[in-house]
Amino acid sequence: MEFGIVGLGRMGGNMARRLAEKDKKIAITNRSFNVTEALARDTGHTACKSYADLVASLEKPRIIWLMLPAGEVTETALSALLPLLSAGDLIVDGANTHWQDDIPRAARCAEQGIEFADAGVSGGVWGLENGYCIMFGGSNAAAARLKPYMEALAPTPMTGWLHTGPVGSGHYVKMVHNGIEYGMMQALAEGFALMKDKPGFDLDLAAIAELWRHGSVVRSWLLDLSADFLAEDQALDDIAPFVADSGEGRWTTLASLEQGIPVPVITLALMMRFASQGKNDYAAKMLAKMRHGFGGHAVKKD
């Protein structure tokens, strides 16, 4: 056994389950050991209480896959693991990390003769059933070592995974992927909003979503998901109009500025997420007061 996963949240836990379904036994650890124990009982994986236990349970050269929140949490885990590892081991960062953070981390690992790879993972909560789309950067040697696990995690051994290039490329491709996702989601949401508010037609949004799933050029998994929830509730009255952004849309927009490549759809989709979070509220109040000032138009009060 050479492979271990650190972090057993929604993604990491289901990745461990999928590997078990593909008859790959691994070592697992999580901040809460009761989560680790429960998953080990379900999968037959080896439950480890600490990073030291995880490292000790694996044969050299080891592969340690970090499936943790990006940023400080991943950095802290890396700092704790590096003193425990040996030359020839491989660390994979599977978080939604900014690709620019991968370069110094790889250099830091290389000082100890440890390989580093960055993996962008898409598939969400459906990855366990359908397989994950994984784009990863690293050396050819690291890619060869990861191939059996990519084949198990992906939808099929031949599809759904790609060695994208050197360190950083996997997270860069995942960043762009998520930026595109922002734009696709926004376009679908705007289109259905137009149809919902069209007077006189009384359009059945659930039926339209289902219609478009078959033969339409806009058919997609996002449309499939939309059709499912619209079939249950078209009004969405109980849903707050708040959409979080996890960072990738911002990074994609910043990359477009750095590279001089226009991405207006992605940028506007990001701006709409900010607006949904109330970050446009003060500007809207300013607009209302200006309109009142020059035209005497009424101002609504909360």
Q: What is the DSSP string of 238-277?
A: TS-S-----SHHHHHHHHHHHHT---HHHHHHHHHHHIII
| Catalytic annotation, pick one of 2, 37, 151, 181 | 181
Q: Is residue 258 annotated as part of the catalytic site, yes or no?
A: no
Residue pair 18/128 in contact by the 8 Å Cβ criterion: yes
Residue pair 134/121 in contact by the 8 Å Cβ criterion: yes
Q: Which two tokens stand for residue 93?
A: 């960062």
**Cα separation, 209 vs 206, whole angstroms:** 5
| Catalytic annotation, pick one of 174, 190, 196, 198 | 174
**Cα separation, 72 vs 59, whole angstroms:** 28
Residue pair 244/168 in contact by the 8 Å Cβ criterion: no
**Cα radius of gyration rounded to whole Å, the chain:** 23
Q: Is residue 174 annotated as part of the catalytic site, yes or no?
A: yes
E strands, the chain, are: 3-6, 27-29, 46-47, 63-66, 90-93, 115-122, 133-137, 161-165
Query: Could you tell me the end-to-end alpha-carbon distance of the chain, in angstroms, rounded to an integer?
Result: 62
Q: What are the residues whose beta carbons fall under 8 Å from the beta carbon of 181, sequence distance 6 or more?
A: 222
Residue pair 27/4 in contact by the 8 Å Cβ criterion: yes
**Cα separation, 170 vs 128, whole angstroms:** 21
**Cα separation, 155 vs 127, whole angstroms:** 8
Q: Could you list the active site residues?
A: 174, 181
